[in-house]
Amino acid sequence: MSKLFESITLGSLTLENRIVIAPMCQYSAEHGKATSWHHAHLGQLSFSGAGLLILEATAVEAVGRISPQDLGLWNDETEEALASLVTSLRDNSDMPLGIQLGHAGRKASCYAPWEGGNQISAKLGGWQTVAPSAVGFAESDAAPEAMSLERIEQFKKAFVESAKRANKLGFDLIELHGAHGYLLHQFLSPLSNKRTDQYGGSLENRVRLLLEIYQEVRKVFSNDKPIGVRISASDWVEGGWDIEQSIELAKALEKLGCAYIHVSSGGLSTQQKIPVGPNYQVPFAESIKKAVNIPVIAVGLITEAEQAEAIIGTGQADMIALARGILYDPRWPWHAAAKLGAKVSAPKQYWRSEPHSVKGLFNAK
């Protein structure tokens, strides 16, 4: 029996298998509102047979967008657009839906990747960014505004209000974005957090905001629905955030009832040196999994079915997440199930596509 295709429970949410579709920014929203692109993009992924689909990083306030085209959930208009999207997805798929809530902090106000990805100046329609400290991401970036304690409280309220909207929309899960150099990660790392108050300095102080936001969001999201956290386990820069600190954060989140830890890395510093290769981030997930009892998701150049099966089968992680790989092959879970002798869900309209060599591949619901 395939371990990758065994079910798993996050809180009270049971997933059909261990394959997660990771949040992937599409830079295709209009003033924060989901568009027809999101219907088409997420619609096809909802037919893939994965256990869970998590929507892209969704900004909790307008200044928290990475780009002007980022998805958002901060007012009635953005909520209504997402409501239409969720309805469309639910009409055609029973795949559980999660949403990743985040804020770009000093990495906000940038062009989309295919437009260069650099920061947009105020003259060209950019906006003032915020951060734990007035330390920019790139040398060419305008300095972010260091957040006052009052501004931090506003930020926490923005997360709570977005979580309330996500709950109303019927999302099955919330993931808090504490990775990839965005605002919560900026508070975690000593490279970007130079504060001298209760949110800076010691590890206890630097993790404080993320833990506070988790607790506040937990109060407003249905008790029977899981909340997880995505982290960058390392800045890949000496003196930065690292795996030892990540383990301590994971332990603290576990004590608060966090449903899972989604383990990525990097994104905070232009000085990062990442040895990219197959499974390059999996050892981080494995280290965290050894330290906590909640499920851990591994990511990072996981492209082959046998590779994913080995990660789960050897206990390096509890789930694997796919991003670029499932964009390249939107039926990756079907093909993995066929290779591993497992079953996978597919829309009944597609059952006739089942190859003769793998008859019985699809679950008939």
pLDDT exceeds 90 at position 364 = no
pLDDT in tens, 260-308: 999 999 999 999 999 999 999 999 999 999 999 999 999 999 999 999 9
The CATH number of domain 8-363 is 3.90.25.10: no
Hey, which residues are catalytic here? 182
> Measured between alpha carbons, how far is 64 from 99 in angstroms, rounded to an integer?
16
- Can you tell me the mean pLDDT for 104-108? 98
The partner residues of 146 in beta bridges, in order of sequence, read: 131
Q: For tokens 């670029």, what's the residue?
A: 324
Task: Give the tens place of pLDDT for each residue, 320-358.
Answer: 999 999 999 999 999 999 999 999 999 999 999 999 999
Quote the CA–CA distance of 338 and 355 in Å, as a whole number. Answer: 9
Instruction: Provide the pLDDT for residue 30.
Output: 98
Residue extents of the structural domains in the chain:
8-363
Average pLDDT, the chain: 97
- Residue 351 tokens, joined: 């059952």
Token pair of 45, please?
């992924």
> pLDDT-derived band of residue 365, with 50, 70 and 90 as boundaries?
low
31: left (phi over 0), alpha (psi -120 to 50) or beta: left
CA gap 178, 23 in Å, rounded: 13
Note the pTM of the prediction, 2 decimals: 0.97
For a pLDDT cut of 70, what percent of the chain falls above it? 99
Residue 34, both tokens: 């989901």
pLDDT for 113 beyond 70: yes
- pLDDT at residue 309, rounded to an integer: 98
Asked whether the beta carbons of 232 and 268 are under 8 A apart, the reply is: yes
What count of other Cβ atoms lies within 10 Å of the Cβ of residue 185? 27
DSSP output for 234-282: --SSTTS--HHHHHHHHHHHHHTT---EEEE---S-TT------TTTTH
> Which pLDDT tens digit goes with each residue over 217-269?
999 999 999 999 999 999 999 999 999 999 999 999 999 999 999 999 999 99
Model confidence pLDDT, tens digit, residues 129-178: 999 999 999 999 999 999 999 999 999 999 999 999 999 999 999 999 99
* Tokens read off for 114: 């295919």
- Residue 187: is its pLDDT beyond 90? yes
